Structure 1
Amino acid sequence: MSIFTIGINHKTAPVMVREQVYFALDKLSLYLQDLLNHGYAQEAVLLSTCNRSELYCLADDLDGVYEWFCTQTSLPRHELEPAIYVYRDEEAVAQMMKVACSLDSMIIGEPQILGQMKEAFSESCAAGAVASVFHRLFQQIFTFAKEIRTSTAIGACPVSVASAAVHFAKQQMGELAQANVVILGAGETAALLIRYLKAHLTKPPVLVNRSIEKAMELAEELGGSVYGLDKLSAALARADIVFSATGSAVPLIKKDMLQAHRDKPVTLIDIAVPRDIEPAVAELANVKLFCIDDLKSIIEKNRQGREHAAEKAREMIRQKSSAFMAEMASLDKVTHTIRAYRGQIEEICRMELKKAKQQLQQGADPAEVLEAFAYAFTQKLLHTPSVQLRQAGAEGRFELLTLAKQLFAIPDAELERI
């Protein structure tokens, strides 16, 4: 049995590939049940964000889970496989820790990924895909991620994709004070966008969302007016800059929406994966379209500034992942020992039961048969431990006697009575 990490991320795949390999949170249970029902894995957690899709699993071998991962997209194999990475055991655990600590994020130190990972773990638990090994592993990962953030400077002055998008918008447009801003979405990223934009805008942004109620809650807290998706075209007609960050599985802004209204320039920054804005929009005059991958120049500056803290975190991860696998190896030895001992006891029981049944078939008194069975079973059960303990006492290995007291839960008071 091995632990595997299989995935793609922003370093191995562009956004047009990442959006094709995306496991929506509200469908995670269906994906996981399919994986487990095929017998490919014993435990599993699925994580999908704008920058990665990763499968963490406990499985007998790689072939089944790898094949399953590859078939969850319509992308041809020759386009998908160059982007896939696979880690096993200690390296797989280290990758999970890097993700949780945001070392593997597009923006090192961003705080959102830990919450996303906890949410994915919670959904996987609810789907019945998590048992003892992954419960132990992920609890350690979540505790360790907090330790990393407090013991290194990895999370100092946290930067997010949302803040990078606002900074990128300033690079593209200069001052944003008089800009008419539209934000498509009303989730956590949209809330962060509004918070970062407030210092730069004199006009409140327009929030467009499928759920008016959710957008209203956000507008009441942070400011802005609210439109439903049915008013998206009207909002776009007046926009100077559009930030898009929904969880939609299909594009919401299409070429024909903008085509009729483009008598003034508009900048579109799509930080959603899958993308919210149809790539063909970029063909229109007066339209500048950017996606999350276009933020890399800003993100690289952040990465360089945190490299010292990141290296310290990497060393801590190497130690922690090694310690976890050593712990699992020890637990495996314990499990195998218990199974072997149980097998011995069951074999003794089977043999004595066979004798007892033969005696009953021959007409022996049931009470006498039961007494004989209990006596023989007890004698054989205690024979080997008794021999080993006597030998240990004769050789002066009294530590074995102490261990036996613990193993058999024998209190000192009971020894004194004998």
Structure 2
Amino acid sequence: MQLFALGLNHHSAPVTLREQVAFQPDGLSEALSRLVRERPVREAAILSTCNRTELYCATETPEAVADWLADFHRVALSQISPHLFTLQHDAAVRHMFRVASGLDSMVLGEPQILGQMKQAARLAEEAGTLGTLLHKLFQRTFSVAKEVRSTTAIGANIVSMAAAAVRLSERIFSTIEEQRVLFVGAGEMVELCAAHFAGCRPRQLTIANRTPARAEALAARFAGDALTLDALPDVLGRYDVVVSCTASPLPIIGLGMVERALKQRRHRPMVMVDLAVPRDIEAEIAKLDDVFLYTVDDLAQVVEAGVESRQQAVVQAEAIITDQVSHFLHWVEARDAVPAIRALRSRADAVRQAELERAMARLARGEDPQAVLEALSQGITNKLMHGPTQFLNRADGEQVGEAAEFVRRLFNLDRS
């Protein structure tokens, strides 16, 4: 059986397609059971998040898995095939290591994906589809991710505007967990920011947008709630962090609106991040004592400071992963040799047992123990050496040198 990783993610497919092949958490166990029951798949696990649906399988026919994925979600295979990636053996192992380490995430180094991979392994184990190969691979994957995060700065670097928004907010609030976060807009930048803030598990996450349907769809991905822009003046004071990025040509959050919000908050501090160009938040708001307003330029400075350390961290992480891929493949190859090792030991034990019985019979007849022991050792040696000796004697021409070298390596012989 070969190891494969296949599926769709934010690199290969748009969100409209990713939504169609996403799995509901409470239906994953049944899906896994159906996969191994309906297709020639020995082991399987499914990772399904807002950014990816990936299947990790031990099978000889990955095309059957792709066909099952389309069939399960009632989507034409021709619709997903152009966006489907299939990785085999070492490429599949490397991919899983990179995903768990946060190197393949929309937000580089984000920690949430590791927990999602652990959940995928648990569900596969509960469904009975996690065999020896995938179990070992997942355990090694978690170990690699831990090493990457503990020995590099991959998770600490500010590598995007979204990451910088979180970092600047943490300068005012030591933790995001107790804060309420409001996102104004529902475009790509807000989506990135929401992903980053959601990883910090805020007390509340809300999306406000001109189009309610878009706000609700984005909020649902992060277990948040949605509202329209018309509601902003009434609810702004409830939020500790406000991140805005719309295409409005004029500011949508004005000085008067924020002053009223601060009164409602009894002048508790508020962080406001304006990612829009032109700006969404009036510049005069920065003069208010209890507001910490950051613009795109402020975030750019934070990002620039992290570029060099990010590059170094990625290089270090990739080196760790390359090394660990080799170690895992060595384990797989050694595992393939297990039947031969067992057969070899069984053969040696049979020889030992036969010679031992012969020696015991001779001792029972009263023969000299010294002579019996000598015969026992010679008998075992002769029978164990019979195979390698025949192998060397049967070699012809150029094969003689190769056979001799093989036997030297097999028995660790001195060339002299």
Which bin holds the TM-score, normalised by the shorter protein?
0.5 to 0.7
CA–CA distance in structure 2, aligned partners of residues 400 and 92 of structure 1: 32
Distance in 2 (alpha carbons) for counterparts of 1:24 and 1:342: 49
Match of 2:57?
Answer: 57
Distance 1:125 1:189 in 2: 30
* 2:339 paired with 1:335: yes
Q: Which residue of 1 aligns with 2:369?
A: none
Displacement after TM superposition at 1:102 (Å): 0.7
How far apart, CA to CA, are the structure 2 residues paired with 1:303 and 1:18? 30
Q: C-alpha distance in 2, partners of 1:123/1:262? A: 41
Alpha-carbon distance in structure 1 between the residues aligned to 2:303 and 2:67: 34
**Counterpart for residue 12 of structure 1:** 12
**Aligned counterpart in structure 2 of residue 192 of structure 1, from 185, 200, 211:** 200
Could you tell me how far 1:190 is from its partner in structure 2?
4.7
SS where residue 311 of structure 1 aligns? helix
Contact kept in structure 2, 1:107 and 1:160, CA below 8 Å: yes
Q: Partner residue of 1:99? A: 99
Tell me the alpha carbon deviations over residues 388-417 of structure 1, each in whole angstroms, 9 at most, x when there is no partner: 33659999x9x9999xxxxxxxxxxxxxxx
Asked if the contact 1:242–1:266 (Cα under 8 Å) also holds between the matched residues in 2, the reply is no
Moved more, 157-166 or 104-113: 157-166
SS of the counterpart of 2:115?
helix
How far does residue 81 in structure 1 lie from its aligned partner after superposition? 1.4
CA displacement at 1:154 relative to structure 2: 1.1
Q: Deviations over 1:300-325 (max 9, x none)?
A: 97788623211221222122212212
8 Å contact kept, 2:39–2:68: no
- Measured against aligned partners, the alpha-carbon deviations of 1:17-71 in whole angstroms (never above 9, x if no partner) come to 1111111222110110000111421111100112111000111222221211232
Question: Matches of 2:20 and 2:388 in 1, distance apart?
Answer: 68
Instruction: Kindly indicate whether residue 326 of structure 2 is the aligned counterpart of residue 322 of structure 1.
Output: yes
Q: Which letter does structure 2 place at the counterpart of 1:192?
A: C
1 CA distance for matches of 2:163 and 2:217? 12
Match 2:312 to one of 290, 295, 308: 308
In the alignment, which residue of structure 1 is the partner of 2:147? 147
Structure 1 pair 10–321 and aligned structure 2 pair: CA distance change class (3 A): same
Distance in 1, Cα, partners of 2:163 & 2:219: 13
Deviations 1:224-268 (A, max 9, x none): xxxxxxxx99x999xxx999544599x986xxx859x6798999x
Separation of aligned partners in 1, 2:314 and 2:142: 17
Contact 2:157 2:309 in 1 (8 A): no
Question: How far apart are 1:193 and its partner, in Å?
Answer: 5.8
Look up the match of 1:388: 383
**1:107–1:303: 8 Å Cα contact kept in structure 2?**
no
Cα distance per residue 1:325-355 (max 9 Å; x no partner) = 2221121121255479989x9xxxxxxxxxx
The answer to whether the 8 A contact 2:4-2:88 is kept is yes
Letter paired with 1:61: T
Q: Output the CA distance in 1 between the equivalents of 2:219 and 2:161.
A: 10
Q: Distance in 2 between matches of 1:143 and 1:157?
A: 21
Question: Is residue 18–residue 53 contact of structure 1 (8 Å, CA) maintained in 2?
Answer: yes
Cα distance in 2 for partners of 1:321, 1:4 equals 14
Contact 1:102 1:113 in 2 (8 A): yes
- Take 2:143 and 2:199, find their aligned partners in 1: how far apart are those partners? 27
Structure number with greater CO (CA < 8 Å, separation at least 6) is: 1
Shift of the 391–137 alpha-carbon distance from structure 1 to 2, 3 Å rule, reads same
Q: CA deviation at 1:160?
A: 9.6
- 1:101/1:114 contact within 8 Å kept: yes
Counterpart residue type for residue 127 of structure 2: A
What secondary structure sits across from 1:57 in the alignment?
Answer: strand
Residues 385, 47 of structure 1: CA spacing in aligned structure 2 closer, same or farther, 3 A cutoff? farther
CA contact (8 A) 2:50 2:221 kept: no
Structure 1 length as normaliser, TM-score?
Answer: 0.54
Post-superposition shift, 1:8?
1.0
The SS at the match of 1:154 is coil
After superposition, what is the alpha-carbon deviation per residue over 1:202-235, rounded to whole angstroms, capped at 9, x for unaligned? xxxx668xxxxxxxxxxxxxxxxxxxxxxx99x9
| Superposed CA offset, 1:159-211 (max 9, x none) | 89985786999xxxxxxxxx99489xxx996573637xxxxxxxxxx668xxx
Q: Closer, same or farther in 2 for the Cα pair 1:47/1:385, shift >3 Å?
A: farther
Residues matched between the structures, number: 287
Label 1:69 to 1:338 Cα distance change in 2 as closer, same or farther (>3 A).
farther
Q: Is the 8 A contact 1:7 1:52 kept in 2?
A: yes
Q: Distance in 1 between matches of 2:125 and 2:234?
A: 48
Amino acid at match of 1:90: D
- Contact kept, 8 Å, 1:3 with 1:89, in 2: the verdict is yes
Query: 1:100 is aligned with what amino acid?
Result: A
Opposite residue 30 of structure 2, the aligned amino acid is: L
Distance in 1 between residues matched to 2:411 and 2:181, nearest whole Å: 80
Report 1:205-224 matches (<5 A).
none
1:12-411 matched pairs, under 5 angstroms = 12-157=12-157, 181=182, 190=198, 192=200, 194=202, 244-246=218-220, 306-336=310-340, 338=342, 387-389=382-384
Alpha-carbon separation, structure 1, partners of 2:387 and 2:15: 66
Asked if 2 retains the 8 angstrom alpha-carbon contact of 1:111 and 1:158, the reply is no
Unaligned regions of 5+ residues in structure 2, if any? 170-179, 185-194, 237-246, 253-298, 350-378, 391-406
Corresponding letter in the other structure for 1:54: E
AA in 1 matched with 2:319? E
Give the distance between the partners of 2:310 and 2:181, measured in 1 at CA. Answer: 34
Relative to 1, partners in 2 of residues 1:245 and 1:192: Cα closer, same or farther, differing over 3 Å?
Answer: farther
2:219 and 2:225 in contact (8 A); partners too? no
The 8 Å contact of residues 41 and 57 in structure 2, kept in 1 or not, is answered as: yes
